[in-house]
Amino acid sequence: MSTDPQFEADHPASCPLSIHDMTVAYHRKPVIWDIDYNAPPGKLIAVIGPNGAGKSTLMRAALGLTPKISGRVHFYGQPYAKQRGRVSYVPQRGSVDWDFPVNALDVVAMGLYRQIGWCRPVRRRHRKEAFDALQRVGMADFAQRQISQLSGGQQQRVFLARALVQNADFYLMDEPFAGVDAATERAIVELLRGLRAEGKTALVVHHDLQTVTEYFDEVVLLNMRLVATGPTEKVFTSENLRKTYGGKLPLLDQVGHRMTMGQVDP
């Protein structure tokens, strides 16, 4: 299949994520329509849109976690099933049961399960690897803590450490900044920049419009359909934001956006 020149042109092996004509519906009601998108490699990309715009659905459908009605998705030029090792997904913090009887280290080690393989135990070197990842997110002191005893920010860092041990090239993160403290937010940003410096790519669902220009190179503006995609400085404009949020953009965000972009009326 990969010998087909037309296919090569559409799905270059360097492109972390290419989505072609993807539509997803829930109870026959479309959630996202006709998505066509190629993610540029080596960038930090924000997915932005109002509630219910289908940001999480976009990620879940791309990974095959939510069934698609139509569309093709490729990671580095191949279907996801062949590229699992190069792609890592960080779900929303609320998606799991934090009362589960595991500690932080166990959760991080889960990121290695694919690497360890079926029916084989987690060995000491895997635990060491997981511990190193916890150290990278500043959570080494909490390795033995049961996960419900961690704060929201700490839980998010555990999730990030779990993504780090997967040692992927492309990271999909669903709202990693939601409900975290300032220290964790800084830690996540540092981490993302570290990943970018290693030539990796991250697609991040993001809510805080104030920090988009500071944190991200590229944006994907989504409201059921793609509104605009491209480099932040070109695409992240008031005009596009109005199109994305319709009348729903809160006043405070509008003001904040004008402030961060330095927009003043003539």
Interface residue list for other proteins (CB under 8 A)? 27, 60, 63-65, 81, 84, 87-89, 91, 95-97, 100-103, 106-107, 110-111, 113-114, 116, 118-122, 146, 162
User: What does residue 196 show for φ and ψ, rounded to 5 degrees?
Assistant: -60, -40
DSSP class of residue 39?
A: P
Distance of closest approach, residue 61 Cβ to other proteins, in angstroms = 12
Taking the complex as a whole, the smallest distance from the CB of residue 90 to other proteins amounts, in Å, to 9
Nearer to other proteins by C-beta: 96 or 252?
96
Written as one string, the DSSP assignment of 128-188 is HHHHHHHHHTT-GGGTTSBGGGS-HHHHHHHHHHHHHHTT-SEEEES-TTTT--HHHHHHH
CB nearer to other proteins: give 170 or 245: 170
In the complex, minimum distance from the CB of residue 102 to other proteins, in angstroms, rounded to a whole number:
6
Tell me how far, at minimum, the Cβ of 75 lies from other proteins, in Å: 11
Q: Give the C-alpha distances (Å, rounded to integers) separating 213 from 45, 109, 120, 224.
A: 11, 34, 44, 23
Pairwise CA distance, residues 13 & 38, whole Å: 11
Q: Which residues of 139-153 are buried (b: 16+ CB within 10 A; e: fewer)?
A: beebbeeebeebeeb
Kindly tell me which of 89 and 236 has the beta carbon lying closer to other proteins. Answer: 89
Using the minimum distance from each CB to other proteins, give the nearer residue, 54 or 91. 91
What's the min distance (Å) between Cβ of 250 and other proteins?
A: 28
Nearer to other proteins by C-beta: 9 or 29?
Answer: 29
